Chains A and B, each alone.
Chain A
Amino acid sequence: MERRAFLAGLAVTLLPFAAEATPEAMAAAIKQVTGDAPVRAGKVTLDIPPLVENGNTVPLTVTVDSPMTEADHVRAIHVFNEKNPQPHVFDARLSPRNGKAAVATRIKLADAQKVVAIAETSKGEFFSASADVIVTIAACIEDIT
């Protein structure tokens, strides 16, 4: 009886350790970047296809509405995800030298999930945009031969 209870307990404690970031992990990762500053919606455009066939390469573009002057520019663009093994996707550092706050790249998505982009301005403000993506073939989990 005791052994059975122990095994049941073991199964319960092991389950949450599946290698996957959670919405909470993403929130924690975002908090690490923003601290206690409020994150407002708007100014950021996150361009990512809503339905993706292959999660191994998903094109993503983040554009921020900013004059990019010395006084008011975007200092950084951070992208996070909910269900990959880790919540971080990338951190890009920008300056007025860029002229336009836009970054494009290709990312991996392990599952249908939410992707969040956060822009940090020179005034210390944070703006965000998010998008839900449905992935039919996931990245990361397949065997390679």
Chain B
Amino acid sequence: MANVLVNAPKTARKGDMVEIKALIMHPMETGFRAGTNGRIIPRNIIEHFSATWNGAEVFRMDFSPAIAANPFVSFFAVATESGTIQFRWTGDEGFVAEHQVAIKVT
């Protein structure tokens, strides 16, 4: 399991906009760089990131090799109901990482 750091408020008022920040540890190797032996290092990137709020998708993003190593994403969501926000990253070489945080909406 990859190292994941998510910053989202634990509580919010119904209808509020909350900022959600997600960071994951990943080399994001572009596939365009040569190693010391002169051979191209194979591409290894995260291709998709998505966030769901109680099962409903609120944000989705497709990455390219131009996203920096240890991808960071920040976006907004409207607080609708209490529950969990689930994050999912998938990528090359069968990479899958999941993380969830709880949020209480009053």
* Interfacial residues, chain A to chain B (CB-CB below 8 A): 19, 56-58, 61, 81, 84-86, 88-100, 102-109, 139-145
A19, A58, A90, A102: the one contacting B61 at CB < 8 Å is A90
* Residues of chain B contacted by A103 (CB below 8 angstroms): 61, 73-75
B residues in contact with A145, CB < 8 Å:
36
Report the number of A-B residue pairs with Cβ-Cβ less than 8 Å.
107
Contacting residue for B76 out of A57, A99, A139, CB 8 A: A99
Contacts of A95 in B (CB 8 A): 57-58
Give B residues with C-beta under 8 Å from A.
Answer: 17, 28, 30, 32-36, 41, 53, 56-69, 71-78, 80
Q: Is the CB of B35 within 8 A of A143?
A: yes
- In the assembled complex, the Cα of A97 lies from the Cα of B76 at a distance in Å of 8
What is the bound-complex CA distance between A143 and B73, given in angstroms?
A: 27
Contact of B33 among A99, A104, A105, A142 (CB under 8 A): A142
Cβ–Cβ contact B66 & A108, under 8 A: yes
Contact residues in A for B53 (Cβ distance below 8 Å): 97
Docked-complex contact A100 and B17, CB < 8 angstroms: yes
Cα of A37 to Cα of B73 in the assembled complex, Å: 29
Report yes or no: A57 in contact with B58, Cβ–Cβ below 8 A.
Answer: no
Chain A neighbourhood of B72, CB < 8 A: 104-106
The answer to whether B66 touches A100 (Cβ under 8 A) is no
Query: Nearest-CB distance from A109 to chain B (Å)?
Result: 8
Would A91 and B78 be within 8 Å (CB), given that A106-B68, A106-B71 are in contact?
no
In whole Å, how far is A127's beta carbon from the nearest beta carbon of chain B?
Answer: 18
Most chain A CB neighbours (cut-off 10 Å) among B17, B64, B69: B64
Residues of A within 8 A of B30 (CB): 85, 108, 140
Write the chain A residue with the least CB distance to B65. A86
**Hey, which chain A residues are within 8 Å of B62, CB to CB?**
90-92
Closest to B72 in A: A106
Contacts of A102 in B (CB 8 A): 74-76
Contact flag A100-B76 (CB < 8 Å), given A106-B71, A108-B66, A108-B67: yes
Residue of A nearest to B21 (CB): A104
Which residues from chain B contact A139 at a C-beta distance below 8 Å?
68
Q: Which of A19, A84, A94, A142 contacts B66 (CB 8 A)?
A: A84
Q: Closest CB-CB distance, A105 to chain B, in whole Å? A: 5
Is the pair A98, B61 in contact by a Cβ cutoff of 8 Å?
no
Check B35–A144 contact: CB distance below 8 A: yes
